[in-house]
Amino acid sequence: MDFSIYDLTSFDQGIDKCLYENLTPFWATVVEMTLIGLIFLIFYALVALFLIYAERKVCAFMQNRVGPNRVGPYGIFQLIADFIKLMLKEIIPIKNADKFLFNLAPFIVVIASFMAMAAIPFAKGLHAIDFDIGILYVVAVSSMGVIGVLLAGWSSNNKYSLIGAMRSGAMIVSYELSVGLSLLTVVILAGTMQFSAIVEGQANGWFIFKGHLPAVIAFIIYLIAGTAEANRGPFDLAEAESELTAGYHTEYSGIKFALFYMCEYMNMFIVASIAATVFLGGWMPLHISGWEGFNHVMDFIPPFLWYLGKTFALVWVIMWFKWTFPRLRIDQVLTLEWKYLLPINLVNILIMAFIVLMGWHF
């Protein structure tokens, strides 16, 4: 397959070469890191704002309503108004809070999501870092977010915040097992943990099709576990409004609340991105064996659009979960993981390993 018309590797290397020829190695590295950081900041803000708008419209569609429709065409500027309001809103000091940890918590959550997003390949040659242990890296850094959640709940000196943080910690620690084992199932099929190599391995077919039934099971379990790990409904016990006000970020206001709010949506985007990359070929176009004309047409669609299309389709599924199913109790959430998803995952890994060993995969 020839994707050279959209290969950004030479473009990246050209910028790198230009910087190192005109600057000292130290300043070239600083400029590169600053540029990448700014791009990620802009991308982070734009995607989070879009997803907040999309959630409100999807929710309205599910409930037979219109959604935001007053400020700007289709209510698109409502987001800008809300964003400005949160940025300018007074940050209310909490009298008995642990001030250092209280202020640190939202930044830990945001940094964890930034670090996870850095490893995702958006197109060929378009990723910040390409570790050969990419999946292990993402699982490791994404688990750091729970530290920020626990700190937020504990440092607020509020019983509702603490209960929400403990619920979130229990869920994230539990469902990380299913997320990791689902990804491990694909690692066995792909033979590598490097994201770029996993995407390249799907040039002649996405892993959800090539891996038979175990890949489909791993994909479904990953979506369920990823939804729980992102604290999305029906697993949003950590911020159950009817019980805990807003859960672990009850005491936050202004920009700190905005950071938690944006981070929740970015975590959902990251969960969908990893699923699209690992199971659905990432930026790789859809190819059907023997349909050369069809495959040739698919190759002309830019890889970045393939990646975004798959990711936002999965984001819609995760939003559909929230607005369709009722919220589970904490015992039901943990029972689902420990009694059902985890045993199924363990058996599924053994089946996938046997299929790969026998060479029965496509």
**Per the domain annotation, does 16 fall within a domain?**
no
**Per the domain annotation, does 327 fall within a domain?**
yes
Query: Rounded to whole angstroms, how far apart are CA atoms 307 and 305?
Result: 5
CB distance 277 to 206 below 8 Å:
no
**Per the domain annotation, does 38 fall within a domain?**
no
What pLDDT shows up at residue 92? 80
Domain holding 117, by residue range, is 102-358
What pLDDT shows up at residue 2? 45
**Per the domain annotation, does 96 fall within a domain?**
no
What pLDDT shows up at residue 217? 94
Question: How far is C-alpha 329 from the chain's CA centre?
Answer: 24
**Per the domain annotation, does 272 fall within a domain?**
yes
Query: Rounded to whole angstroms, how far apart are CA atoms 107 and 36?
Result: 19
Residue among 144, 170, 165, 319 at smallest CA distance from 245:
165
- Cβ-proximal residues to 95 (8 Å cutoff; 6+ apart), any chain: none
List the structure tokens of 45. 């803000």
Residue 49 amino acid letter: L
List the structure tokens of 242. 């009817």
What pLDDT shows up at residue 362? 62
CB distance 120 to 273 below 8 Å:
yes
Residue among 131, 303, 346, 292 at smallest CA distance from 202:
303
Q: How many domains does the chain fold into? A: 1
DSSP string, 287-318: --TT-HHHHHHHHTS-HHHHHHHHHHHHHHHH
Give the sign of the dihedral formed by CA 231, CA 233, CA 234, CA 239: positive
Tens place of pLDDT per residue across the chain (362 aa): 444 557 777 777 778 788 888 888 888 888 888 888 898 888 888 888 889 889 888 889 888 888 888 888 888 888 888 888 888 887 887 878 788 888 888 889 888 888 888 888 888 877 888 888 889 999 888 888 888 888 888 888 888 888 888 888 888 888 889 999 999 999 999 888 888 889 888 877 788 888 888 999 999 999 999 998 888 878 887 776 666 666 777 888 888 888 888 888 898 999 999 999 999 988 888 877 777 777 788 878 888 888 999 999 999 999 998 888 888 888 888 899 999 999 999 999 999 999 888 877 66
What pLDDT shows up at residue 251? 82
**Per the domain annotation, does 301 fall within a domain?**
yes
pTM of the model: 0.88
